[in-house]
Chain A
Amino acid sequence: GIQVEQSPPDLILQEGANSTLRCNFSDSVNNLQWFHQNPWGQLINLFYIPSGTKQNGRLSATTVATERYSLLYISSSQTTDSGVYFCAARGDYKLSFGAGTTVTVRA
């Protein structure tokens, strides 16, 4: 299956700061998604982005499929952005997850 690597593993931000999370994947994908897991464990879809750029409020994501990476941008971070961000890629039949980036936003 596809190997997915995320960096950095941990990120501590002051409220209002901007940040970039990176996801590298090992092969061509037909599905690339970003998820946010809140401190209570609930996983929420953020983006479906096999290529190109999308924006949703303060979050945006870019995937460069030919270079096998995706970036998630958080702007003007808020404490509610805390949690674990997962990148997941699908090449064949299943979604493979990275180890996640744990984001802590301090007030």
Chain B
Amino acid sequence: DVKVTQSSRYLVKRTGEKVFLECVQDMDHENMFWYRQDPGLGLRLIYFSYDVKMKEKGDIPEGYSVSREKKERFSLILESASTNQTSMYLCASKDRGHYGYTFGSGTRLTVV
């Protein structure tokens, strides 16, 4: 069965810390995505990548960066965490040319 694995289920960080959220997929998918989910807002796209070392901004990239050094791994980086980045973060991957998205279980990040 295909899998997208997010390294942490719950994370608590302090304001100003640099935070790394890791996502690994085992399906050899070209496309990977980071979303954040907030009540009443649905999922909003932060960044996506369609190949190794490639990245594109989504709808809300401010305060975030990403890294994709290997095809299977897509990292989301909060350079200096702030309380308004408290949210559920979801990683997804998709095979190019196919419609199906596979999501990880999510990381609930709390910034205090």
Contact = CB atoms under 8 A, between A and B. Distances in A.
A, B in one complex: yes
A45 B100 contact: yes
Nearest to B99: A48
A41 B88 contact: yes
A98 B42 contact: yes
Interface string A69-106: 00000000000000000101000011111111000000
B42 A33 contact: no
Chain B, interface size: which category?
20 to 34
B101 A45 contact: yes
A33 B101 contact: yes
A97 B42 CA distance: 6
B74 interface: no
B50 to A, nearest CB: 9
B45 A99 contact: no
B45 A94 contact: yes
Contact of B105 (A4, A40, A93, A100): A40
B40 to A, nearest CB: 5
Given A1-B59, A94-B58, A99 B101 contact: no
A88 B45 CA distance: 12
B73 interface: no
B98 to A, nearest CB: 9
Interface of A: 1, 4, 9, 31, 33, 35, 40-45, 48, 86, 88, 93-100
28 contacts: A4-B42, A33-B101, A35-B101, A41-B88, A41-B106, A42-B103, A42-B105, A43-B90, A43-B103, A44-B103, A45-B100, A45-B102, A48-B100, A86-B42, A93-B56, A94-B45, A94-B48, A94-B58, A94-B59, A95-B45, A95-B101, A96-B45, A97-B35, A97-B42, A98-B42, A99-B40, A99-B42, A100-B42
7 interchain residue pairs of minimum CB distance: A43-B103, A97-B42, A97-B43, A41-B106, A99-B42, A48-B99, A98-B42
